[in-house]
Amino acid sequence: MTLEAGTKLGHYEVVSSLGAGGMGEVYRARDTKLGREVAVKLLLEEVSTDPERLARFEREARLLASLNHNNIATLHGFEKDGDTSFLVMELVEGETLADRIKRGAIPVDEALPLFLQIAEGLEAAHEKGVIHRDLKPANIKVTDDGKVKVLDFGLAKAFSGDESDVNLSNSPTLSMQATQKGVILGTAAYMSPEQTRGRDIDKRTDVWAFGCVLYEMLSGRPAFPGSDVTDILAAVIRGEPEWMGLPPQLHERLREVLERCLEKDVRDRYRDIGDVRVDIQKVLADPGGVLAQPAPAIVQTVPQKKLPWVAAIALVAALVGVGAWMFKPGDPRPVRRWVYELPEGTNFVNGLYSTLSIARDGSRFAFATTDGLYVRTMNELDARPLPRTEDSGSPFFSPDSQAVGFWRNAQIETIPITGGSPSRVGQTPRPWGLTWGEDDRILFAAPDGIYSVAASGGSPERIIEPSAGEALDSPQLLPNGRSVLFTVGAPGSWASAQIVVESLDSPGERTVLRGGSDARYIPTGHLVYVVDDALFAVGFDPGTLETTGTAVSLELGLQRAVVSSSANYGISEDGTLIYASAGVTGLRGELVWVDRHGNEDEVGLEPGNYWWTRLSSDGTRLAMSVRDANSGNQDVWTSDLNRNPPTRTNLTNSPDMENVPIYAPGDREIVFASTRVDGQLGFFQIAADGSGQVEHLMQGETVTFLMPYSWADDGATLIFGYTSVDKGANVGTMAMESGEWEPLLETEADELHPAISPDGGWIAYSSDRNGQSEVFVERYPGLGDISQVSTAGGHAPRWSDDGRELFFRRNSDGAVMVALVETGPTFWNEDPEVLIDGGYLDVVNGPGVSWDYDSEKDRFLLLKAAGLGADSTGETGQVRPQITIIENWFEELKRLVPTD
């Protein structure tokens, strides 16, 4: 119903229309009794004509009318005129925040006083038990004198009534009339994750919306954008705001306020808006202002040991005094070498890829651990963990040294060094040699070439394509901006790698050095690179792309990554060198048996780099993929575990990469992946005793990794994993008779480690569809009826032989988890429990799986970290992980490798 000017509703006379909302038409009207102008909101017809809902609405309206606060638009009352029901509300002049944001982001100093008022209004309402439920910029007005008024407070609940039947198909203000008339659920871009799922909500849903509005005010764009409701809701549930879109010098406490408001798990979110108000007041009261101030320069002291504070101050003063007269301008700066040991109980993340990086300006370095990323500035004693970076690796810094990039869950992500929620950049299954260029693009090598992607996010673009049988690694854009320096090796092996340059304008590799890898061009005019585990340097002219002089070993022992050619070192532009000098384990370990009570028993095989292990059906034989520590090559090995000691036989012994073997049903054959045909991965089969010829089953011409995992249909179908840059990690099926294959699970998420249940009717797998790797089960082969089994991160599932238990590894610590399950017409599971505590080597979201379950003896095959060699004192055994830092290293480099 539309009302004309002059229409009377009781003693209210309509003046003009103010617009329409999800709850009904709104008009400016004159209260003829009190002589004031008000806002009149007509209820939707479906509410007005439903007696039960109308009575419920009237009860809610009475509660809302009790709210009395300067920052809440007052609800004067609920009125009726014949069959017309309407609300009478305070008329607020001014523009909405939505109108203001259309003109661009609001400066921080202007936005914070407004938000302090919004918080005060919410706090007053929450104290009376009223939740807004539809907070958004369009529901917040700012008067000409700067006073905030929150509109439509609590009306979402008044209109919705019972929220048990929630449907989320409409927006901007979602109103589902098909299943329940007039259900007002909130606007999609500002709805909390629990609200979008139709779950019970409390005042913390207003805290979430508060964070969304604050983000939008400061950045000028929604925290969770999308082209339609589906995209928006998906972003709310799984995405993160573009944190780099905030003002670059945003006060650290204010950034923390935003992050805590926008925690997806309500348990981690602010519990009370009053706490938000207090934190905003502290920002406003900061004498340094509402923007972060640059930190003052501090003289570096002895970094790896804590000193009593008096002694530390005295040492700083002494060093400053000595420096004033000893080192004159123009003199070479002294070279200083020291060792930083990782925090007690902290270990480098399994060194499949690079584990550390130094900022371009030399101010700090980052390293990846089993607990997540740490950042340590050169003028601090301790490293600081970066929250929300669990299960990550391959850290790298932004050009301005203010952000760190990393890789996890087949995604490149970035995070400010001050902390915050990570921002996703782009998808790739395996990035090697990540670098962040001055053009704000990230360069990396993937299994099928070298790619570039905008740091702000997007689809990676392949800029260099490998030749057949080549693997590329460690790309660096040279100073001319058009030539890329990188490493070329064979897939799975860097033993015979070479360093090449290719122009983006005229494709074609030009060899610079043979027999080296992981090269970096540095401002001194040197090319620094790695041979085996040693660092070398040679003069290099980036104009002619020629080396000059003789290459020299720098006599520094580095620890290499297991898969990529990275040697875990970094060089800043101011001349600081860092490298991992101890503690990078990769998957080097000792295989052990562990029973359900955590008791260990040795397997008897020598320690090694066990990339993959899979038992035969009776548990008496073992197929493994073992990586040679010197050549980097991988081969398939088998072991007869009944022998004492067990034997270990090299089954393939090939220069090609031979990987991920599994026993076929009956245990007479082994299927594995190899690059032996045209350098591209394919599936092959060989007799388990090594006799006969190798049979070529399938060639993966359009994918980059192939991993056999499980069997279905009595061995007629192989269930396998495959990855590619554009599709991520997925699951496929191959008919053993024909070799034909087709996708089974191919989604925007990454699915790994598929395992078919013993009854053949269900498939378990790990997927990051909810933001981290979790274990799911659904029907096979038709799919559907999805159940999430893990509750706090999980991967690499294994079924018991009777199908009544599902085992998997927990992401955070590698603990073995167990869930009781039932399969049949439907699937059911109990909540998982810890079966074996963590502490065993594990790879989250990696294709390699170094664990298995022996159902015959009810025990688990796990990989235990072995001794890591000698430390800096010459003592052997378990070495404390450490990073060596050499400051002003360029002075030593120029002395050792002159370029004149």
Contacts (Cβ under 8 Å, ≥6 apart) of 615: 621, 622, 623, 663, 852, 853, 854, 861
Q: How far is the C-alpha of 884 from the C-alpha of 580, rounded, in Å? A: 6
Catalogue the long-range contacts made by 595-598 (C-beta closer than 8 Å, 24 or more residues apart): 595/858, 595/859, 595/860, 596/835, 596/836, 596/858, 596/859, 598/836, 598/837
List helix spans (H) across 130-251: 155-160, 193-196, 204-219, 229-238
Report yes or no: 853 and 806 within 8 Å, Cβ to Cβ.
no
Q: How far is the C-alpha of 507 from the C-alpha of 504, rounded, in Å? A: 6
Cis peptide before 343 (omega within 30 of 0): no
Percent helix, strand and coil across the chain, each rounded to 5? 15, 40, 45
Number of H helices and number of E strands within the chain? 12, 60
Q: How far is the C-alpha of 89 from the C-alpha of 81, rounded, in Å? A: 16
802 torsion bin: left (phi>0), alpha (psi -120 to 50), beta (else): alpha
Strands 795-799 and 787-788: unpaired
Catalytic residue among 50, 81, 134, 541: 134
Q: How far is the C-alpha of 663 from the C-alpha of 88, rounded, in Å? A: 75
Q: How far is the C-alpha of 258 from the C-alpha of 111, rounded, in Å? A: 13
Contacts (Cβ under 8 Å, ≥6 apart) of 673: 657, 658, 659, 660, 681, 682, 683, 684, 705, 706, 707, 708
DSSP sequence for 324-387: HHHS-TTSPPPPEEEEEEPPTT--BPPTTS--EEE-TTSSEEEEEETTEEEEEETT-SS-EE-T
Quick one: how far is CA 238 from the chain centroid? 11
The four Cα atoms 732, 686, 758, 795 give a dihedral, to 10 degrees, of -60
Q: How far is the C-alpha of 235 from the C-alpha of 516, rounded, in Å? A: 44
- Which is nearest to 206 in space by CA: 124, 278, 284? 124
Q: How far is the C-alpha of 744 from the C-alpha of 762, rounded, in Å? A: 13
Q: How far is the C-alpha of 611 from the C-alpha of 620, rounded, in Å? A: 20
Q: How far is the C-alpha of 355 from the C-alpha of 471, rounded, in Å? A: 20
Query: Which backbone phi and psi does 510 adopt, to 5 degrees?
Result: -125, 115
Q: How far is the C-alpha of 723 from the C-alpha of 356, rounded, in Å? A: 26
The tokens for 691 are 């006799």
The tokens for 132 are 């807004």
Angle between helix 273-285 and helix 204-219 axes, rounded to 10 deg: 30
- Which is nearest to 659 in space by CA: 704, 620, 689, 691? 704
For residue 452, list its beta bridge partners. Answer: 443, 461
Report yes or no: 621 and 669 within 8 Å, Cβ to Cβ.
no
List helix spans (H) across 66-107: 97-101
Q: How far is the C-alpha of 808 from the C-alpha of 817, rounded, in Å? A: 5
Q: If DSSP codes are grouped into helix, strand and coil, which group holds residue 896?
A: helix
Report yes or no: 745 and 730 within 8 Å, Cβ to Cβ.
yes
Quick one: how far is CA 111 from the chain centroid? 30
Instruction: Please say if 134 is a catalytic residue.
Output: yes
Active-site amino acid positions: 134
